[in-house]
Amino acid sequence: MIRAVLFDLDGVLTDTSEYHYLAWKRLADELGIPFDREDNEALRGVSRRESLVLLLKGRPATEEEMQEWMDRKNRYYVESISQMTPDNLLPGALDLLHELRENGYKTAIVSSSKNTPMVLERLNIANLMDTVVDGNAPARSKPAPDLFLLAAERLGVSPQECLVVEDAAAGIDAARAAGMRTLGLGPRERVGHADLVLPDLKGVHLSDLKPVLE
Ligand code: BG6
Ligand code: MG
C-alpha cells in the first residue's frame, strides 16, 4: 500500500528542466564546448557539479574554474526562474497534488536542485508538501537513493510505502535503489525502467495511478 507520493520538481511539476538546459547551453557555448539537447539528457536529475563534469566531456579544469563555471551557470538559471509564477506549473500537477492530499496521501518534493526553495516559492506550492528534501541536504545526490530515503524517514513511512514521480533516468534509478515504486514521465528510452510510464501529468488522476498505488 502506498502512503506517500514523492515528486521530483524540475521536469515533473514545472518545466525548469528547459531553463537548466538553456543555462548549461549558454555556458557551453561560451566555453566553446559542443553541447546539444541529446547531450543534455544525461544531465537530467543529476547535481550541478556532476552536470558540469558530464558537460566538460573529460576536458581538464581546475577546481577554481569548475567553481566559476558552476556559479556562472547558476546565475543564468536563477535569472530565468526569477520570472516564474504559479502559471509555470505543468498541466495536471496542481489537480493531482490536491487529489492526493484529499485522499490522505502524504506528498513531498525530492529534488537534486539547491534552488528548490526558490522554485517552490515562485510556484506557491510549498504548503502542499509534508516535507521537502533538496540538493542542500547533506546526502549523496541522485542516482544514489539517499534523498528519497531521507524523505521517507521524515514522513514516517517505509520505502515500500512510497511512490516516486520522476522525469529523469537517474531519478528512477535512485528511487528503485531506495526500494520505492516509480512513475516515469517522458519517453520510454528515458524512463522505461519505471513501474508505470506516462507522457506527463496532464489529465492524470488517482484512478490512472491505481496500478502503482495499490
Ligand atoms: C535537478 C535537475 O533537479 O537539479 C538538474 O534535473 C540540475 O538539471 C540539478 O542540474 C541541480 O540543480 P541546481 O539548481 O542545484 O543547480
Ligand atoms: Mg527532474
Mean pLDDT computed over 3-22 = 97
**Cα 22 from Cα 135, distance rounded (Å):** 20
Mean pLDDT computed over 90-114 = 98
pLDDT of residue 95: 98
Return phi, psi of residue 89, to 5°: -65, 140
pLDDT of residue 134: 97
**Cα 179 from Cα 139, distance rounded (Å):** 17
Q: How confident is the model at residue 80 (pLDDT cuts 50, 70, 90)?
A: very high
Q: Taking the CA atoms of 132, 134, 140 and 143 in sequence, report the sign of the dihedral they define.
A: positive
Mean pLDDT computed over 73-81 = 97
Ordered by where they begin, the domains of the chain are 4-14+86-213 (3.40.50.1000), 17-81 (1.10.150.240)
Residues at CB less than 6 angstroms from ligand 1: 10, 17, 20, 43-45, 47-48, 51, 74, 111-115, 135, 168
Placement of cell 489537480 in the chain: 95
Q: How confident is the model at residue 153 (pLDDT cuts 50, 70, 90)?
A: very high
pLDDT of residue 129: 98
pLDDT of residue 39: 96
pLDDT of residue 54: 97
Within 8 A by CB and 6+ apart from 133, the residues are 108, 109, 110, 111, 139, 147, 148, 150, 151, 154
Mean pLDDT computed over 76-100 = 97
116 CA to centre of ligand 1 in angstroms: 9
Q: What percent of the chain has pLDDT over 90?
A: 100
Cα R_g (the chain), whole angstroms: 17
The mean of the pLDDT values for the chain is: 97
Q: Output the residue whose Cα is nearest ligand 1's atom 4.
A: 113
Altogether, the residues listed in the chain come to a count of 214
Residue 13 DSSP label: T
Mean pLDDT computed over 3-9 = 98
Q: Output the residue whose Cα is nearest ligand 1's atom 13.
A: 113
Catalytic site residues?
8, 10
Q: What percent of the chain has pLDDT over 70?
A: 100
Cβ atoms of 90 and 15 within 8 Å: the answer is: yes
